Amino acid sequence: MNGLSAAALADLAGVTEAEVGRLVDFGFLETDVQKVRLATACERAGLPMDEIAAAIGAGRLSFAFLEAQQYQRYQRYAARSSRTYRQVSQETGVQLELLRRTLESAGFAWSAPDDPMREDELEVVESGMGQQQALELSAELDPELAPLLDRAVLAVYHRQQELAWIEDQVEHVEAALGEVGAHARPERVPAMCFLDLAGYTRLTEERGDQAAAALVESLAVLVRRLAGEHGGVPAKWLGDGVMFYFREPAGAVLAALQMVEELPKAGLPPAHVGVAAGPVVVQGGDYFGRTVNLAARIASRAGAKQVLVSESVLQAPAPDGVRFVELGEVQLKGFARPVRLLEVCRA
């Protein structure tokens, strides 16, 4: 393993030591950080590791491209540092909640406060500079601030590049398995759900920023509870909406219906929701891939108080008390072929 112990490799790759051990046991990997990240992302997305190993052994698939310099030189950015989020918060004077929002807005996935931060996340947090000092430098337009901002922007760029690469690589592996007839659809797939508030921008203009902040806080409390009741968790906050991950499509459908029904009762604007089921790429606590993109596009297609789902949701076991209304195929941005949509209603 390139001179690294399993524990050291797991730490660098941001996975567990057990996951590294499983990859070594399959025997298809001269294990390094980039290959561990990709293999783990594939498995978490629902791709069978034994079939990937067989395809590599037969020469139909290769991870050798990850040995290229452009991939290897980026592994240091994703390495975990020796400092936790809580420690960095205390050292810089940036409150944990502000730290979380800053990192999430830059595309990083928030972890537990006592988990170690990634090196590229540290670059974003003002390079160790305290909040007061940063404000003073900003007010004075001090030339010392420009290099710090450059480092932060570069760190965000590297993070987005990493996510784009992994998403593309996982889809490449999935396509390769499909071409040789190796990849069967998993028996159980997760679901992604996007909820957006209708008329949120107009509401903030009419009531002001404070009212908008209070509204979002009320939304967070309500949807976190409803998602949790059905096996889901908020994965990302999007200003006027939320992205959720659900273990099963049935839970996503029931939670979505409850959300569009209960938000107006709580004094919140009406919502529209999109749900898609399928393999989901999980990397660094973030969720992405084709299923995520599809759910977002479906949500943008839905009207107020409407829950729309993909055909893949219909293929999973249906929850009791709901019916699906056929809407036909529609063309969605970013998808070459038309997508079959259905509306979820109470039975």
Q: Where are the domains of the chain?
A: 6-73, 75-160, 191-346
Q: How do residues 314-337 score in pLDDT, each as one tens digit?
A: 888 888 899 999 999 999 988 888
Question: What is the length of the chain?
Answer: 347
Whether pLDDT at 110 is above 70: no
φ and ψ at 145, to 5 degrees? -75, -30
Q: How do residues 67-80 score in pLDDT, each as one tens digit?
A: 776 666 555 556 67
Burial of 33 (0-12, 13-18, 19+ CB in 10 A): buried
- DSSP, res 67: G
Structure tokens at 318: 């249906």
Q: How do residues 277-304 score in pLDDT, each as one tens digit?
A: 987 877 656 787 788 889 999 999 999 9
Q: Which residue has the higher pLDDT, 233 or 37?
A: 233
Q: How do residues 211-266 score in pLDDT, each as one tens digit?
A: 777 777 788 888 989 999 999 988 887 767 899 999 899 999 999 999 999 998 88
CA distances from 42 to 39, 56, 171, 277 (A): 5, 14, 9, 16
Q: What is the mean pLDDT of the chain?
A: 77
Q: What is the pTM of this model?
A: 0.62
What pLDDT score does 313 carry? Answer: 93
**Cα–Cα distance for residue pair 257/346, rounded to 1 Å:** 8
Weakest-pLDDT range from 125-139, 189-203, 283-297: 125-139
Q: Which CATH class is domain 191-346?
A: alpha beta
- Strand (E) or helix (H) holding 74: none
Judge contact between 256 and 344, C-beta under 8 A.
yes
Judge contact between 126 and 148, C-beta under 8 A.
yes
- DSSP, res 126: G
Find the Cα–Cα–Cα–Cα dihedral 241, 242, 243, 247, rounded to 10°: -140
Structure tokens at 138: 């900003």
Q: Which residue has the higher pLDDT, 6 or 184?
A: 6
**Cα–Cα distance for residue pair 280/106, rounded to 1 Å:** 21
Question: Which residues does 299 contact at the CB level (< 8 Å), separation at least 6?
Answer: 194, 195, 196, 241, 272, 273, 274, 308
What pLDDT score does 308 carry? Answer: 97
